[in-house]
Amino acid sequence: MTFITISEVGPRDGLQSIKPVMPLEAKKAWIAAEAACGVPEIEVGSFVPPSLLPQMADTAELVRFARGIEGLNVVALVPNAKGAARAVEAGVHGFSAPFSMSETHSIRNVRKDHTQMIEEIRAMGRIAAEAGAHFAVGLSTAFGCTIEGAVPQATVVRMAAASIEAGAKELSLSDTTGYADPAQVRRLVRAVRAQVGDALTTLHLHNTRGLGLANALAGLDEGITTLDASLGGLGGCPYAPGASGNLVTEDLVLMLNAMGYKTGIDLEKLLKVRAILAEALPDEPLYGFTPDAGVMMDYQERIAQ
């Protein structure tokens, strides 16, 4: 039975995409509750200036809290070497850096072109190595960009190889704008893996146009072993108002468990965690079909096979 790691990114990707600031105690309750369901990895926040993202101002405290939960892999997002230094100081097990495959997007987002970003990745790699932390790079806008449109596959492959050479230990392909389709996922995963091998482990998918689960399955068929997801699809997508954001954790767990993949996550317990979000963020929409429909009558028989 194949184990698929589901990495919960809601406390970072979900919360940074909405206006309300979730109270610290509610964040802690959310993280603890998901860990108790068997979620193996949680991205608890990002190390960015609080003036830019006040939603992430308490990330260091969340790292310290989450490190006290046995068996949980605690990770965070960092935009640059300064953020990487703050992350290792806080005690993360690992951190990831976003590297936009659309150079125009990269310049607008972090004010660095591709050459400058590779040097920043090199600096982050040194920080991770010295601290004994795991360092991953997320190849964002890999499937398309709202500024440039299509991103050449050759660019993604070349930047993936450059990231590994600069010190990244692991890569993910990120559908930042919700442009991916299953055929494109298969093509790009194959092309990148032909260059970097098993260093490509992860897909970060959005459900903007309803293709999230289909794209996840395409990735699994190509050997992907980690999928990012957000409880309740929290956060939405800034490029498509009204659309859900990341893959909905609950729907993803249902699909994988029912198909016979091993996730280690108790779905019935996970569905109850939504109440924490609903109480702390009453005006934010929560997405997902499974919470409304419930599990199938033969769900337990399916996962027991």
CA 207 distance to own-chain centroid: 13
Per-residue model confidence as pLDDT tens digits over 114-152: 999 999 999 999 999 999 999 999 999 999 998 899 999
The C-alpha atoms of residue 97 and residue 117 are separated, in whole angstroms, by: 10
The C-alpha atoms of residue 174 and residue 226 are separated, in whole angstroms, by: 12
In the structure, what pLDDT confidence band is assigned to residue 243 with cuts at 50, 70 and 90?
A: low
pLDDT at residue 1, as a whole number: 74
Per-residue model confidence as pLDDT tens digits over 173-202: 999 989 999 999 999 999 999 999 999 999
Question: Residue 230 in contact with residue 8, Cβ under 8 Å?
Answer: yes
Query: What mean pLDDT comes out for the span 250-264?
Result: 97
The C-alpha atoms of residue 109 and residue 5 are separated, in whole angstroms, by: 29
Q: What is the CATH number of the domain that holds 98?
A: 3.20.20.70
Per-residue model confidence as pLDDT tens digits over 47-65: 999 999 999 999 999 999 9
Query: Which residue has tokens 């990120």?
Result: 174
In the structure, what pLDDT confidence band is assigned to residue 240 with cuts at 50, 70 and 90?
A: low
Per-residue model confidence as pLDDT tens digits over 68-100: 999 999 999 999 999 999 999 999 999 999 999
Per-residue model confidence as pLDDT tens digits over 19-47: 999 999 999 999 999 999 999 999 999 99
The answer to whether residue 244 scores a pLDDT higher than 90 is no
- Total length of the chain: 305
The answer to whether residue 102 scores a pLDDT higher than 70 is yes
User: Taking each helix axis from N to C terminus, what angle separates 59-66 and 81-90, rounded to the nearest 10 degrees?
Assistant: 40
Cα dist. 141→35, 129, 175, 205 in Å? 29, 27, 6, 11
Query: Which among 237, 247, 254, 256 is annotated as catalytic?
Result: 237
**What total number of domains does the chain contain?**
1
pLDDT at residue 179, as a whole number: 93
User: In this structure, which amino acid lies at residue 303?
Assistant: I
| Residue numbers of the domain that contains 61 | 5-304
In the structure, what pLDDT confidence band is assigned to residue 241 with cuts at 50, 70 and 90?
A: low
The answer to whether residue 237 scores a pLDDT higher than 90 is no
The answer to whether residue 239 scores a pLDDT higher than 70 is no
Question: Residue 172 in contact with residue 207, Cβ under 8 Å?
Answer: no
Per-residue model confidence as pLDDT tens digits over 133-143: 999 999 999 99
Active site residue 237: yes
Q: What is the 3-state secondary structure (H, E, C) of the chain?
A: CCECEEEECHHHHHHHHCCCCCCHHHHHHHHHHHHHCCCCEEEEEECCCCCCCHHHCCHHHHHHHHCCCCCCEEEEECCCHHHHHHHHHHCCCEEEEEEECCHHHHHHHHCCCHHHHHHHHHHHHHHHHHHCCEEEEEEECCCCECCCECCCHHHHHHHHHHHHHHCCCEEEEECCCCCCCHHHHHHHHHHHHHHHHHHEEEEECECCCCCHHHHHHHHHHCCCCEEEEEHHHCCCCCCCCCCCCECEHHHHHHHHHHHCCECCCCHHHHHHHHHHHHHHCCCCCCCCCHHHHCCCCCHHHHHHC
The answer to whether residue 236 scores a pLDDT higher than 90 is no
Cα dist. 128→38, 87, 89, 122, 171 in Å? 27, 10, 11, 10, 15
The answer to whether residue 161 scores a pLDDT higher than 80 is yes
